[in-house]
Amino acid sequence: MRLARRSTIAAFALALPLGLAACGNSGSDTAASPTSSAPSSSSSSSSSTTEDMTAKPFGAGCSAVPADGKGSFSGMATDPVATAASNNPVLSTLVTAVTEAGLGETLNSAKDITVFAPSNDAFAAVPKATMDAAMKDPKGLLTKVLTNHVVPGKLTPEMLAGEHKTLGGGTIKVTGSGESFKVGEANVICGSVQTANATVYIIDGVLLPG
């Protein structure tokens, strides 16, 4: 895996605020409570069906998520995504990287996103020189890597397969169906984890932009 050439970073740095702003809540650093008119019976039924499909996380890696507390599935569902991840020990390396890049508030205030979240083991598998280079460039290279894991919209498993434009300006391809998916070369090990403003799919690899 190779990090993107640094020649792309300047252009990315200009484009990133616009892409993230399009998915964010205006004037708020935390996830806002959704407001909408009362749904019709048919739309209510459709919404209920969607909730049923996304209510239960799936995958062998879900066993590593705490059974209770703020880092559990039910605990994460009440917090915006960066806060939710910070309470989950499976994602501590990701949280450190997000903090270094200064993306915590940006992710927390974004509305309806999907995050492909590398586990601690996924980051551990990245060559040290590659990680060091990214961590030394938090506003450039590290930010580009992290936003390569975020796409607009809360994707259900039925919506996953296909190509998705990332907030970093790249494209990622998801293959698979049911409860078996690959994001690039990474496997989804715990999918359909809900937070207040995002759907999270924990993966076993880091999606380095090429």
Is position 147 within any domain?
A: yes
pLDDT value at residue 3: 39
Number of domains in the chain: 1
pLDDT digits 0-9 by tens, 154-180: 999 999 999 999 999 999 999 999 999
Q: Is residue 180 situated within a structural domain? A: yes
Percent of the chain with pLDDT over 70: 74
Please give the mean pLDDT across all residues of the chain: 83
Q: Is residue 85 part of a domain?
A: yes
Average the pLDDT over 53-58 and give the result: 73
Tens of pLDDT, residue by residue over 17-47, are: 444 444 444 333 433 333 334 444 444 444 4
60-84 confidence digits (pLDDT tens): 999 999 999 999 999 999 999 999 9
pTM: 0.77
Domain-located, residue 3:
no
CATH number of the domain that 73 lies in?
Answer: 2.30.180.10
Q: Which domain holds residue 119?
A: 48-203
**Six token digits for residue 24:** 């964010």
Q: What confidence tier does 55 reach under pLDDT thresholds 50, 70, 90?
A: low
pLDDT of 94 higher than 80? yes
Q: What is the mean pLDDT of residues 96-107?
A: 98
What is the per-residue pLDDT for 210? 72
Q: Could you report the per-residue pLDDT of 104-118, keeping only the tens digit for each?
A: 999 999 999 999 999
Contacts of residue 144, defined as CB under 8 A and 6 or more positions apart, other chains included, come to: 4, 8, 9, 12, 168, 209
The pLDDT of 98-108, averaged and rounded, is 98
Residue 58 lies in a domain: yes
User: Do the domain assignments include residue 118?
Assistant: yes
Mean pLDDT of 48-58: 59
pLDDT for res 146:
98
